[in-house]
Structure 1
Amino acid sequence: MINQGKKRDVWTTITLGILIIYGLVLIYPLFILFKESFVSGDRGTFSLEHFYKFFEKKYYYGALFNSLKVTVAVTISTVILATPLAYIMTTFKIKGKLFLQILILISSMAPPFIGAYSWILLMGRNGVVTNFMKDIFHINTPDIYGFTGILLVLTLQLTPLVYMYLMGALKGVDSSLLEAAESMGYTGINKMLRVVLPLIVPTLLAGSLLVFMRALADFGTPMLIGEGFKTMPVLIFNEFISEMGGDDGFAAAISVIVVVLALFVFLVQKYISNRKSFSMNALRPIKAKQEKGFKNVLAHIYVYGFIGLAILPQVYVIYTAFLKTSGRIFVKGYSLDSFRVAFDRAGDALVNTFTLGLIALFFVVLIAILIGYVTVRRRNILTNGLDIMSMVPYIVPGSVLGIALLLGFNNKPLMLSGTATIIIIAFVIRRLPYTIRSSAAIIHQINPSIEEASASLGASNLKTFFKVTLPMMLPGVISGAILSWVTIISELSTSILLYTAHTKTMTISIYTEVIRGNYGIAAALATILIFITIISLLIFFKLTGRKEVSL
């Protein structure tokens, strides 16, 4: 009995320690943000003036409606595109399927603003496609700027996320259900809508929530191609970092409104998911069949067409990185000059990306392993609280977290603003959920009797964890860690608020060069980032032995 008590004490201490860390680096800054939003700028007393200001002017509350318009439209578009894509890739034999899976992943892992920048080069006012259609066919193509461009970029960027969720869910559907549906006369689209779709609704809702949150939080895309179409992250950035002197209180109030909106959507999704949730265990998983005729042609056109559009921004960015430039203009011929200038200007940013990213990844893995274990194996009030707290970064947009950290750590003794530490903290907080999710999932698959057997042989609690449980967790941990790494190196919305000249990362350098109009240098830097992403994914496949990523 004494030994059991010691075991509980060890994990209780670890849980309390992690809760304290979360309280310091997440809850405290968010509390300061919330407090600042209700403080009068002049008098320093309780006031609702910042909220009145927001809802009094259309310029401000219009950004809220714009964000809702974008997020709802992107969420619907991604669901409409991803559902048939996942269904076709699961049930049809598609030529080059493994290669296509990798392309889908690459298209989803690159930062959205790179896609925005690429579409400017393709369909901007002086874009390649724009000029081609005008010169050859005398047709004026639709404007890529504003709502249309944001919708296009984010839909192509985020559809693969829903696709990966659905691929995981479709593996749990028993093929006997499809056979039964076919025997009742349901085939093709009817089978997908009447049988498959109801089975994957909980997963579809989870994927939709992720898309909604990502679209709501995206800063780079609307900043580059939104022009007059302002969204909430852009408004927050402009109000906090203003040439006329930022208004911290007003920026905090806008941030609180965004968090309340995100929390509301999150709770609604959870409520619906809980009502519709059920478990599936496929004794005979769906196997892809070789279709013939028109149906097979249509399936290939849909898959190749979507993937071609989704990967086009990355392909064109890589292509332009090797073009000759004269000043800011691309000219005929090919050259490596853009790469040489890029390394001269942003060599430190590349080093910072790896240094800060790897340090953050170390803490992500360490904390995620511990959280994943205690929330699955040591369920109690403390671990339930930790489980809920670890989900908070899931609903807090990056720009909001950036402002919260700056407000929370801008005075002694917690003076962290302007340091590398505050960026590492932001990376860790924002990307922990990915590795926590995969770590917890793998622990659910480990039979507790294995750990009990170790304990019965006299092994201590921690020895059992490190010698028995942790080695079995590693595949899930590695999976989540690599996905966390890919998202860390593509982070922009938080780091754009926190960086200094000494802590600039690759994404900030790319964004800066795009804003300055140095498209050749931006393309070279983006190409380097894309290849880092590809290499990371190849390592993921090698270490896990998997040929795809499903969430």
Structure 2
Amino acid sequence: MIKHKKLNIWTVSAIIIFITYLLFLVYPIITVLSQSMIEDGHFSLTQFKTFFSKKYYFSTLVNSFKVSLTATFFSLIIGTLLAYLFNMYHFKGKKVLQIFIIIASMSAPFVGAYSWILLLGRNGVITKFLMNVLHFPQVDIYGFFGIVLVFTLQLFPLVFLYVNGAFKSIDQSVLEAAESMGCRGINRVFKVVLPLLTPTLLAAALLVFMRAFSDFGTPMLIGEGYRTFPVLIYTQFISEVGGNAAFASSLAVIAIIIALTIFLVQKAIARQYSFSMNSLHPIVAKKPTGGKKVGIYATVYGIIFLSVLPQMYLIYTSFLKTSGMVFVPGYSLDSYRNAFDRMGSAIFNTIRIPLMALVVVVILAIFISYLTVRKPNFFTNVIDSLSMIPYIVPGTVLGIAFITSFNTGIGGSGFLAITGTVGIMVISLSVRRLPYTIRSSVASLQQVSPSIEEAAESLGSSKMNTFFKITVPMMMSGIISGAILSWITMISELSTSILLYNIRTRTMTVAIYTEVIRGNYGIAAALSTILTVITVLSLLLFMKVSGSDDISL
């Protein structure tokens, strides 16, 4: 009888969620780990020795660290600078510029790489202008420089969104006190502002680094001879499907170890700098004058123009006529007609599959956040920790883990054979993008006092009625914020989908990537434009529903 009383809806939901994570996260990762270390039924580290003993393989890991650290460094500088200018000064066009920043951050990174090839590639429009008109030497966009450029312009908006939110917690009186003590200008930035932003900068740095480290589409398109670790994982797995899948699994395990190590180091450092801020008097933005005004406008508009230039040019090329692989003079809607004729199912899948995943994400996030905040214990803490694993593990690695665990082919276990189905696509998107909505929902729920729920129950409301009619509505702002971020990252997802899709479940990002590889640039540009339109409409809908024109993380 006692056991029956304990088995309430929260216990049941915790058990169901835990089993779900065991099946679709823990089991795939353990399967990959097993495949990398078991050879002919015996424990073996041969695959790892192969990786570390051959310079060709190990150099890809070094290259990934180089581009990821460099891109993180520049993203932190640019993102923090923009957030500082946005919060400290008044200038025209802030709302529109913020939408542009978000658009730049939410598109698939490889789309930016493709766009920069059109602009600064060997036959790019800017390259031709610089060489033919200004007689500059040819710009080399490929390799290390190109990858860092694309990553930086793609990822600095994430830093901006984090830091922009942190600035709202800084009290104006702190800055005034520093100024009264003679700490002004750049000195105040380094001695007061940046120390206050340190926890936020550490969180942003982790996200930017992991996004850069795990992306394979950008270096695949623009890297040429500069091979990175995610590219190696992808190419080895694709080429090894018919042979030895153990090596690809060993690469996946190395990626998981690196990701977890970096995450734990970041958490340890962040814990030392952790503190809370309450802003009773928000920062008052000043009106710049003279040379400072010119400098601010040039900096803000210049950086944001560069970040959206690739997409603007991509939209322009989508209306150009094409002849085979070449854009020709004149305008046409043929690229859009061909896109809908040949890729109509991909466009439909880009809406359908993420929508199904979003429903799963919202439901799970609501229950997990409530369990974490209101029912804290060892079991719910384990669930919360499991939910963060996909946040740091590269998408390519999870894709390999899903194929290894849920595939009947060579290298697959055959258990629950769902690879290539809508089900596995929904599951992969849900697992990967769930952390965004969970974290946002947790933050929102922590601001809801338990006394409100207790008051409702004292007036005769049942626990479930209180939860659904009072608690969930009060969490809604956090749920919506997390859901929109999950949604936008779902529709731009490539690294996992490229491994799991088949012709019936192909999405727009997969279609864009394959069309670029095939040289069908007109169709790729049209699909990229459609994806951008969906992203913009999603953001506008979010602003409408939330009643806010300011987005921060």
Aligned partners of 2:248 and 2:136: how far apart in 1? 43
Contact 1:482–1:536 (8 Å) recurs in 2: yes
Instruction: Confirm or deny that 1:54 pairs with 2:51.
Output: yes
Give the CA deviation at 1:185.
2.1
Give the CA deviation at 1:549.
1.3
Out of 127, 136, 151, the residue aligned to residue 130 of structure 1 is 127
Contact 2:368–2:384 (8 Å) recurs in 1: yes
Paired positions, count:
548
1:105-124 equivalences in 2 (<5 Å): 105-124=102-121
Instruction: Confirm or deny that 1:402 pairs with 2:403.
Output: no
Give the CA deviation at 1:529.
0.3
Aligned partners of 1:300 and 1:247: how far apart in 2? 56
2:226 — aligned with what? 229
In the alignment, structure 2 segments of 5+ residues that lack a partner are 408-412
- Residue 395 of structure 2 aligns with an amino acid whose one-letter code is G
Aligned partners of 1:3 and 1:242: how far apart in 2? 56
Contact 1:7–1:461 (8 Å) recurs in 2: no
1:175 — aligned with what? 172
Query: What are the Cα deviations for residues 460-483 of structure 1, in whole angstroms up to 9, with x where unaligned?
Result: 221110111111112211111111
Match of 1:333, SS? strand
Aligned partners of 1:246 and 1:288: how far apart in 2? 62
Note closer, same or farther for the CA distance 1:120–1:446 as it changes in structure 2 (3 Å cut): same
1:58-137 equivalences in 2 (<5 Å): 58-137=55-134
Note closer, same or farther for the CA distance 1:244–1:354 as it changes in structure 2 (3 Å cut): closer
Give the CA deviation at 1:358.
0.6
Aligned partners of 1:442 and 1:313: how far apart in 2? 35
- Residue 323 of structure 2 aligns with an amino acid whose one-letter code is S
2:410 — aligned with what? none
User: 141-150 or 522-531: which moved more?
Assistant: 141-150
Instruction: Confirm or deny that 1:303 pairs with 2:305.
Output: no
1:381 — aligned with what? 378
1:20-419 equivalences in 2 (<5 Å): 20-40=19-39, 43-242=40-239, 245-410=242-407, 411-419=413-421
User: 335-344 or 136-145: which moved more?
Assistant: 136-145
Contact 1:371–1:386 (8 Å) recurs in 2: yes
Give the CA deviation at 1:186.
2.2
Note closer, same or farther for the CA distance 1:537–1:246 as it changes in structure 2 (3 Å cut): farther
Contact 2:68–2:209 (8 Å) recurs in 1: yes
Aligned partners of 2:415 and 2:522: how far apart in 1? 43
Match of 1:148, SS? helix
2:529 — aligned with what? 527
Contact 1:239–1:247 (8 Å) recurs in 2: no
| TM, length-normalised to structure 2 | 0.97
Contact 1:205–1:269 (8 Å) recurs in 2: yes
- Residue 513 of structure 2 aligns with an amino acid whose one-letter code is Y
Give the CA deviation at 1:183.
1.4
Contact 1:93–1:290 (8 Å) recurs in 2: yes
1:494-513 equivalences in 2 (<5 Å): 494-513=496-515
User: 145-154 or 410-419: which moved more?
Assistant: 410-419
RMSD across aligned C-alpha pairs, in angstroms? 1.5
Give the CA deviation at 1:3.
12
Note closer, same or farther for the CA distance 1:153–1:134 as it changes in structure 2 (3 Å cut): same
| TM, length-normalised to structure 1 | 0.97
Note closer, same or farther for the CA distance 1:527–1:246 as it changes in structure 2 (3 Å cut): farther
Aligned partners of 1:459 and 1:478: how far apart in 2? 26
- Residue 162 of structure 1 aligns with an amino acid whose one-letter code is V
Aligned partners of 2:277 and 2:240: how far apart in 1? 55
Give the CA deviation at 1:487.
0.5
Give the CA deviation at 1:8.
7.3
Match of 1:427, SS? helix
Contact 2:122–2:138 (8 Å) recurs in 1: no
Aligned partners of 1:445 and 1:354: how far apart in 2? 33
Out of 528, 532, 536, the residue aligned to residue 538 of structure 2 is 536
User: 10-19 or 100-109: which moved more?
Assistant: 10-19
Aligned partners of 1:289 and 1:94: how far apart in 2? 9
User: 469-478 or 241-250: which moved more?
Assistant: 241-250
Aligned partners of 2:414 and 2:221: how far apart in 1? 36
Give the CA deviation at 1:7.
7.8
Aligned partners of 1:439 and 1:148: how far apart in 2? 38
Aligned partners of 1:5 and 1:101: how far apart in 2? 53
Give the CA deviation at 1:192.
1.2
Aligned partners of 2:533 and 2:336: how far apart in 1? 13
Give the CA deviation at 1:9.
2.7
Percent identity (aligned)? 57
1:379-528 equivalences in 2 (<5 Å): 379-410=376-407, 411-528=413-530
Contact 2:405–2:414 (8 Å) recurs in 1: no
Aligned partners of 1:459 and 1:170: how far apart in 2? 40
- Residue 514 of structure 2 aligns with an amino acid whose one-letter code is T
Query: What are the Cα deviations for residues 52-81 of structure 1, in whole angstroms up to 9, with x where unaligned?
Result: 110111111011001111111111111111
Contact 1:240–1:246 (8 Å) recurs in 2: no
Contact 1:391–1:433 (8 Å) recurs in 2: yes
- Residue 178 of structure 1 aligns with an amino acid whose one-letter code is L
Contact 1:239–1:246 (8 Å) recurs in 2: no
- Residue 201 of structure 2 aligns with an amino acid whose one-letter code is L
- Residue 545 of structure 2 aligns with an amino acid whose one-letter code is L
In the alignment, structure 1 segments of 5+ residues that lack a partner are none
Contact 2:240–2:248 (8 Å) recurs in 1: no
Match of 2:460, SS? coil
Match of 1:241, SS? helix
Contact 2:405–2:415 (8 Å) recurs in 1: no
Query: What are the Cα deviations for residues 83-138 of structure 1, in whole angstroms up to 9, with x where unaligned?
Result: 11111100100211111111111111111111000000000011001111111122
Match of 1:242, SS? helix
Match of 1:331, SS? strand
Aligned partners of 2:240 and 2:460: how far apart in 1? 65
Contact 2:172–2:281 (8 Å) recurs in 1: yes
Give the CA deviation at 1:4.
13
User: 519-528 or 296-305: which moved more?
Assistant: 296-305
Give the CA deviation at 1:457.
2.1
Aligned partners of 2:128 and 2:139: how far apart in 1? 12
